[in-house]
Structure 1
Amino acid sequence: MLRTERHSRIVEHVVAQGGANVVELSDLLHVSPATVRRDLQYLDDQRVLRRTHGGAVAGEEYDETPPVRRAGRARAQKRAIAEAAVELIPRGAVVGLTGGTTTAEVARLLAERGPLTIVTNALDIAAQLVPHTEVSLVVVGGHARSRTWELVGPAAEKALAEYHTDVTVLGVDGVSAAHGCTTHDQLEASTNRAFVTSGETVLVVADGSKVGRATFARICPAGDVDHLITDEGARGGGLDAIAAAGVHVTTVPVP
């Protein structure tokens, strides 16, 4: 099991249970208690979990948290959204993937399906894809954001300007007809905008809690999006307005 996978399993278990001890996690992951302690210390340093004597508990919620923490939220919805997105992506395509837990799920499914090229700025997605020999992986460089594990800024945007992707899969913190696609950080928004520009088709993947929501920095107007894939938990009025802006909307059932 890769270190990132181990971290994800720890976070999922602790968030689901509210807390866990070292022995419990050691048995769950089939690794030594010493390894678990090192993992818990790392996750505590990243403000993902709060380490306690003999274990860890779920920490406070933040608007932006590392992908390993967010992976446990609305996981079933995100998987269903990712499955619907993959159905829209041609086999062998060149795919741009921004950071995000739903886009990471898209990456996993694409890698399992077979040969293709993926361009990403997300370190967790890159780490996930490296072992897949049938994936031609391009990672654009830039300034690393510790909160989201994405490489952003002018260097990333310059690299993206040299590429053309068949499909861009965009993760967002908010999407609405009035404000378009938004995220929390200005640099991240600018880099994601470069992904949108490089893509022939733009798919936005967002769970229902993000529909009708606007956050600080604008990525692009709703009219730049070809397809929004979300779940049935999205607010109907927000979806109708997005569809009226010319975006094709797909909603998947809430598992």
Structure 2
Amino acid sequence: MKLNGRHKKILEQLREEGFLATEQMARNFAVTTQTIRRDINMLSNQGLVRRYHGGAGAVSSVENVAYASRQALNHEAKARIARAVARQIPDKASLFINIGTTTEAVAQALAERKNLRIITNNLNVAACLCGNSACEVIVAGGVVRSDHGVIGESTIDFIRQFKVDYGIIGISGIDTDGALLDYDYREVRVAQAIIENSRQVFLVADRSKFSIAPMVKLGSLADIDALFTDAEPPASIVELLAASQTRLFIADDGKAARKPV
């Protein structure tokens, strides 16, 4: 079937943002959600998009979207998630904070806290927190990416020198079997070191991450202590959280509702 102008624009937006909700696309194009669902079905049948409950995602499993697009994607949801995480972090705690736009939102939510010691491989996180003289920020060395994330063997070695209270990590995708997935194996190795050296691990992931499937496996939901997101996860994920006794926090309207698992 020949693509019309709306189909082409949907594909362009998906390449930039990675995931679009059905209702969001309906508003963007001033059509009904039924029309968008037909568009998604047609594009999916041609192998041009991935069809998910509530929206559509880009098909690439090997390349993340541009950093600027990730910053803008689900910005308000990430801020709600960040506030929910901040409420669980006491003053005088030690933390790892890794690469990601949601973890950067967490740093912003912690910017006025007192006597935190933060170890990070994210220069954006360091820039956000270093102005607070009541906190200490320690930056891992290594290779600096274009998004200001720091990776490499020296980064891993540095992380392994510490044992902290909380490890706050982001992720690019969560598969239906609970696998935590990302794009860069070097970033994944740093995140694995953070998990190994944190007493509690908090995963921050907005709802779009349940619809994206990169190719590099970081671990599984069983490796974390709590998942912070902005909407009820798919039923299969909720079951996996319950099986692994991983706490679920849903940040909605500025409040974090802890769900029993």
TM-score between the two structures when normalised by the length of structure 1:
0.70
Counterpart of 1:218 in structure 2 is 217
Alignment pair present for 1:164 and 2:157: no
In 1, Cα distance between equivalents of 2:211 and 2:95: 26
Alignment pair present for 1:86 and 2:77: no
SS of structure 1 residue aligned to 2:110: helix
Alignment pair present for 1:125 and 2:125: yes
Contact 1:171 1:205 in 2 (8 A): yes
Deviation, 1:251, is 1.3
Deviation, 1:243, is 3.0
Please give the residue correspondences for 1:1-255 in structure 2 after superposition, counting only pairs within 5 Å: 63-66=64-67, 68-146=68-146, 148-176=147-175, 178-211=177-210, 213-232=212-231, 234-253=233-252
In 2, Cα distance between equivalents of 1:232 and 1:142: 35
Counterpart of 1:15 in structure 2 is none
Query: In percent, how many aligned pairs have the same letter?
Result: 27
Q: Which whole-Å deviations, capped at 9, do the CAs of 1:38-65 have from their partners, x for residues lacking one?
A: xxxxxxxxxxxxxxxxxxxxxxxx7232
Q: Which whole-Å deviations, capped at 9, do the CAs of 1:54-100 have from their partners, x for residues lacking one?
A: xxxxxxxx72322x442221111111111111111121100100011
Q: Once superposed, what is the RMSD of the aligned Cα atoms?
A: 2.2
Counting matched residue pairs gives 194
TM-score between the two structures when normalised by the length of structure 2:
0.68
Change (3 A) 1:112 1:155: same
Counterpart of 1:42 in structure 2 is none
SS of structure 2 residue aligned to 1:115: coil
Structure 1: tracts of 5 or more residues without a match: 1-17, 19-61
In 2, Cα distance between equivalents of 1:102 and 1:220: 19
Supply the AA of the counterpart residue of 1:199. S
Supply the AA of the counterpart residue of 1:90. P
Contact 1:102 1:205 in 2 (8 A): yes
Deviation, 1:232, is 1.3
Q: Which whole-Å deviations, capped at 9, do the CAs of 1:19-44 have from their partners, x for residues lacking one?
A: xxxxxxxxxxxxxxxxxxxxxxxxxx
Supply the AA of the counterpart residue of 1:126. A
Q: Give runs of ≥4 in structure 1 deviating > 6 Å.
A: none
Q: Which whole-Å deviations, capped at 9, do the CAs of 1:107-163 have from their partners, x for residues lacking one?
A: 1121212221100000111112222211200000111122x3211111000001101
In 2, Cα distance between equivalents of 1:119 and 1:212: 30
Contact 2:111 2:128 in 1 (8 A): no
In 1, Cα distance between equivalents of 2:211 and 2:73: 19
- The range that moved more, 188-197 or 235-244, is 235-244
